[in-house]
């Protein structure tokens, strides 16, 4: 052991899978004595775990690298700098050319090799590893120590599937995360058991197309996501299960039935539709129509009537007309979202849509984004207000914002503030929603609230 433990700072951009990978990088380096740094200024190794999905996300890495270069010059410190994640995969050795401050580049499927790559970088090489070694990654992924798990709280991500074979014409993910691959059931169960034993109560299964999961089961045959969920629900201590992101094409009958049967499976579904125009959906290569999507949503709601929906939308895809966009507003209204992510189309290098010569003007994109966001915000408020007076389960996950409060999450991922007497972090408590704030719900334990008359409070959002 050295006099001082080396310090690691990982900054993650992009989706939850990058958050998961960042934790695995910290876990891989923990046996070598690495501890978490408070900031980049304080670190011996800085990892930028990047996202390539839209131009803005990808450009962030270069501005951050500029800041690090300046910090190095000003402080005389010499941390090793690694670029990981989807920009690393997409640009590889180009990054070394463009930014001299970078010591190593590692793609998302090679993060298990980080300790070895750091040794090479320390010796003066500037290694680049962008192999698609996904099976090796899954086999060699570092397991966190129980103390590390507890330090991360009572909710956890668990990657079960990675990569994508769908090739939507706007999207870089099939190129940055490679072909679809699923982890064997036994690996997933072992990891979930480890999390539960360390006190994790809620597990979110991750995959770029998580409902395309087909990992090898103990019987040697592929298991569906539904079958995996039934198995994970048996693990003691696991109170809540979620999965994200699902593709409408891969939601099968078994998965819909799991929403009916499994109390642990939260009634909240993230199901991106991207556009409400069949013409645009076709050009995006989504392989379903607006009507297919709405019928699917109806079926899931039939199975689980309290289900709430979230989604992703892209506005201003090449060739999108005002009437295509109105179809997007119409599908958002018809599906009644509890929340949704909305994006302006961003042309990405190497994707078919970026080559089209009918790109939509940025001003038009902004205006459409604004209109869609206004509708979604309205739906979000309406959904939150519909919960007032209703009984919901809340997973207490952190101390409250103010003394005397404890905070948690609703089944729909909304932050909830409750009186501290409601329980301790890690408990799932039954509560009645009493009020809606701009960013959170207020609730009281169901036992107390029953005594009082129900008061409807106007939303402040």
The rounded distance, in Å, linking the Cα atoms of 398 and 417 is 10
CB of 50 to ligand F3S, least distance (A): 7
Quick check: 229 and 181 in contact, CB under 8 A?
no
- The answer to whether 176 contacts ligand F3S (rule: CB under 6 A) is yes
N residues, the chain? 461
Comparing CB distances to ligand F3S, the nearer of 17 and 238 is 17
Residue from the set 17, 30, 232, 372 that interacts with ligand F3S by CB under 6 A:
17
End-to-end CA separation in angstroms for the chain: 53
Residues 300-329 that bind ligand SAH (CB under 6 A): 312, 314
Pairing of strands 428-436, 391-399: antiparallel
User: How many of the chain's residues bind ligand SAH (CB under 6 A)?
Assistant: 17
92 CB contacts (<8 Å, ≥6 apart)?
105, 107, 128, 130
- 180 versus 397: smaller Cβ distance to ligand SF4: 180
Helix (H, G, I), strand (E, B) or coil at 271: coil
* Sole binder of ligand SF4 in the list 247, 259, 301, 344 (CB under 6 A): 247
131, with CB counted inside 10 A (0-12, 13-18, 19+), is: middle
174 touches ligand SF4 by CB under 6 A: yes
Q: By CB under 6 A, name the one of 7, 9, 11, 14 that touches ligand F3S.
A: 14
Residue 162 or 202 with smaller CB distance to ligand SF4? 162
- Residue 441 interacting with ligand SAH (CB under 6 A): no
Q: What is the CB-side half-sphere exposure of residue 326 using CA atoms within 13 A?
A: 3
Considering CB distances under 5 to 8 angstroms, the limit depending on partner class, which of ligand F3S, ligand SAH, ligand SF4, none binds residue 130? none
Site membership for ligand SAH, residue 272 (CB under 6 A): yes
Strands of the 128-129 sheet, one edge to the other: 35-36, 7-12, 45-50, 80-84, 104-106, 128-129
The answer to the question of residue 365 lying near ligand F3S (CB under 6 A) is: no
Residue 174's binding partner out of ligand SAH, ligand SF4, ligand F3S, none, with CB under 5 to 8 Å set by partner kind: ligand SF4
CA distances from 390 to 75, 260, 305, 337, 407 (A): 55, 20, 14, 18, 18
The partner in contact with residue 348, picked from ligand F3S, ligand SAH, ligand SF4, none with C-beta cut-offs of 5 to 8 angstroms by kind, is ligand SAH
Could you give the 3-state DSSP secondary structure of residue 257? helix
Site for ligand F3S in 412-451 (CB under 6 A): none
Q: Which residues bind ligand SAH (CB under 6 A)?
A: 53-54, 170-171, 173, 208-209, 245, 247, 272, 274, 312, 314, 343, 345-346, 348
């Amino acid at each position: 052991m050295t006099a001082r433990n080396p310090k690691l700072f990982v900054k993650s951009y992009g989706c939850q899978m990058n958050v998961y990978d960042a934790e695995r990088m910290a876990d891989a380096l923990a046996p070598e004595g690495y501890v978490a740094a408070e900031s980049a200024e304080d670190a011996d190794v800085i990892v930028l775990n990047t996202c390539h999905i839209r131009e803005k996300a990808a450009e962030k890495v270069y501005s951050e690298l500029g800041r690090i270069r300046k910090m190095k010059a000003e402080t005389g410190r010499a941390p090793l700098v690694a670029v990981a994640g989807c920009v690393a995969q997409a640009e590889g050795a180009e990054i070394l050319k463009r930014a001299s401050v970078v010591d190593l580049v590692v793609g998302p499927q090679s993060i298990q090799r980080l300790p070895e790559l750091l040794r090479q970088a320390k010796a003066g090489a500037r290694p680049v590893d962008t192999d698609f070694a996904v099976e090796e990654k899954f086999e060699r992924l570092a397991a966190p120590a129980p103390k590390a798990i507890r330090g991360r709280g009572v909710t956890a991500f668990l990657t079960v599937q990675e990569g994508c074979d769908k090739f939507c014409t706007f999207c870089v993910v099939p190129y940055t995360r490679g072909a679809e691959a699923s982890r064997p059931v036994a690996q997933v169960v072992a990891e979930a058991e480890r999390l539960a034993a360390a006190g994790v109560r809620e597990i979110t299964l991750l995959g770029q197309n998580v409902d395309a999961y087909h990992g090898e089961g103990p019987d040697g045959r592929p298991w569906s996501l539904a079958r995996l969920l039934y198995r994970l629900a048996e693990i003691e201590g696991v109170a809540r299960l979620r999965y994200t992101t699902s593709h409408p094409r891969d939601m099968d009958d078994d998965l819909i039935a799991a929403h009916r049967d499994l109390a642990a499976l939260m009634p909240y579904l993230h199901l991106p539709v991207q556009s409400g125009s069949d013409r645009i959906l076709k050009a995006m290569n989504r392989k379903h129509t607006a009507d297919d999507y709405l019928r699917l949503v109806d079926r899931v709601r039939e199975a689980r009537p309290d289900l709430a929906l979230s989604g992703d939308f892209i506005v201003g895809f090449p060739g999108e007309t005002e009437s295509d966009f109105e179809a997007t507003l119409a599908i958002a209204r018809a599906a009644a979202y509890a929340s949704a992510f909305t994006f302006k189309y961003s042309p990405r290098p190497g994707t078919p849509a970026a080559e089209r010569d009918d790109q939509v003007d940025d001003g038009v994109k902004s205006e459409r984004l604004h209109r869609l966001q206004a509708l979604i915000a309205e739906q979000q408020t309406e959904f939150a207000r519909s919960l007032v007076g209703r009984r919901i389960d809340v997973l207490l996950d952190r101390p409250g914002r103010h003394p005397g409060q404890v905070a948690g999450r609703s089944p729909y991922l909304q932050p909830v503030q409750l009186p501290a007497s409601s329980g301790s972090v890690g408990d799932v408590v039954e509560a009645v929603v009493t009020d809606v704030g701009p960013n959170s719900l207020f609730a009281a334990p169901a036992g107390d609230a029953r005594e009082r008359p129900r008061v409807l409070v106007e939303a402040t959002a």
